[in-house]
Structure 1
């Protein structure tokens, strides 16, 4: 097993393909946005030439109308490992979602599925609340989980309160149950790409400019034509709201590039923080050197 994590635009795809070609291995997507179809360009999924360069799995196989969880991804990985990937000489997990790698190497709590109607109800309840308000709500409703949330961001608060509403139990109770990992971290090669931040930001802007020159605008048109719930993860992908505003005449092309590049840089910073705090014992390399 080879695990390659890193912030967006850091070169994970290229390194994974290089490894797969050298070993005859296969690549498994470990990025929560690259699971969705329609948005190939905006989520930086491998292009046709890259997909043909080595066997790829779990890319673009989920419709954007679905909410795809870490648990669902882990179940898909288990299915692959029991089938097509069982004889691969090397299995390369590559992506930027830290929680996916944590689930692989530490296991994932078995949390019962939550009715989407409950999720929507909770989303409506916290809509308009700022971070302090969300923290107070969590402390009142679920103090055990409130202590675990360093930052009460909307996604984590919705998850915690939805589980509480659906099961009557704190998410903390499920998280504390014994968990079995798929990958033994001691026997896996674990790599975090840690490029120079200034160079990474330049790459992020250049890549988004190339996306705009490519099919990004057409992808957003196709996505919006589906008439999906705006709260779905695919609808919140960086670039989708910005390009949607441009198509409505509310934003210029340059404004889209500027805002999306800044948003992507902020996302990369959050990824880097996760890798630094939660994956401190992984080997770090600068792929841009």
Structure 2
């Protein structure tokens, strides 16, 4: 739980491409607020198109926090993010502005609401060995092994999610304890006093259509060129920065001599899976859902939210 929040803190969350950024921007303009990013990839400089950062025009009108605070080769964790979030909220409130926390990193939101449960430290010797195994055999055989050793974790991890499969096997090997033991959820927590958490809820087909349009717009804006530039960067991207959806798929597609259309289709599939994973996390949190549909105007959404807030 998050103690000592100033009154009136608002969180806007939801799956990728749901419109969080636009709603947060319009709400900040209406209510004299500032936006604090709840996104594990927007913290990195140079990762611009692939992370859908707010445009320079928006950043000139509304103040943003926790964007572009790290170099791409630096590692970053939830444990490092949460104190920065707390300080940003205090700073915004102390200047008489409304803190609007906006983004879709579910682990950040869980840590903000419930506190952070620290897992075992990384064992890089074991992890690197498992990663090498995954590069050779692919993730599916390792997922089958996880199914036999920790079925609770295997049930929650996609068979092709190499990073999470490796982490689960690493924890099991280094500690002898299934990682799923640390994933038990009780009843949904009650938001701290002074905090309202809103989520944008779309019909699945409409959300998928929005994802497709967003990726096409990113491609036109230079996503492929940005990915190639980052691939050649020295020093290279950190492990955490390299998890950004889009870059890895583009790099692998280039290596396989795939066309841009083929790479975009793989990226669409990956992004749809990611949105489904986000929603699985969010459903266990105390979120007030705003039903979305069609082409809602930003002003109408702000009116709806302001009415709920009683402002």
Q: TM-score range by the shorter chain?
A: 0.7 to 0.9
Three-state SS of the structure 2 residue aligned to 1:66 is coil
Three-state SS of the structure 1 residue aligned to 2:100 is strand
TM-score by length of 1: 0.79
Cα distance change, pair 69–121 in 1 and its aligned pair in 2 (3 A): farther
Instruction: Identify the residue that residue 116 of structure 2 maps to in structure 1.
Output: 108
Asked if 1:282 corresponds to 2:288, the answer is: yes
1:105-144 to structure 2, matched below 5 A, reads 105-111=113-119, 113-114=121-122, 116=124, 119-124=127-132, 128=137, 130=139, 133-134=142-143, 136-137=145-146, 140=149
Instruction: Identify the residue that residue 94 of structure 1 maps to in structure 2.
Output: 102
The one of 207, 220, 226 aligned to 1:219: 226
Report the CA distance between 1:132 and its aligned residue: 6.7
Counterpart contact for 2:201–2:289, Cα < 8 Å: no
Report the CA distance between 1:14 and its aligned residue: 0.6
Instruction: Identify the residue that residue 60 of structure 1 maps to in structure 2.
Output: 68
Instruction: Identify the residue that residue 200 of structure 2 maps to in structure 1.
Output: 193
Instruction: Identify the residue that residue 13 of structure 1 maps to in structure 2.
Output: 21
Cα distance change, pair 236–14 in 1 and its aligned pair in 2 (3 A): same
Task: Give the aligned length.
Answer: 278
Asked if 1:203 corresponds to 2:210, the answer is: yes
Asked if 1:70 corresponds to 2:66, the answer is: no
TM-score by length of 2: 0.74
Cα distance change, pair 172–194 in 1 and its aligned pair in 2 (3 A): closer
Report the CA distance between 1:139 and its aligned residue: 6.2
Q: Which runs of 5+ in 1 are unaligned?
A: none
Counterpart contact for 2:12–2:20, Cα < 8 Å: yes
Report the CA distance between 1:62 and its aligned residue: 2.5
Cα distance change, pair 131–70 in 1 and its aligned pair in 2 (3 A): farther
Provide the C-alpha distance between the structure 1 equivalents of 2:233 and 2:146, rounded to a whole number of angstroms: 34
Report the CA distance between 1:63 and its aligned residue: 2.5
Report the CA distance between 1:59 and its aligned residue: 1.4
The one of 51, 62, 67 aligned to 2:59: 51
Q: RMSD in angstroms over aligned alpha carbons?
A: 3.3
Q: Which runs of 5+ in 2 are unaligned?
A: 1-8, 297-311
Q: Could you tell which deviates more after superposition, 203-212 or 254-263? A: 254-263
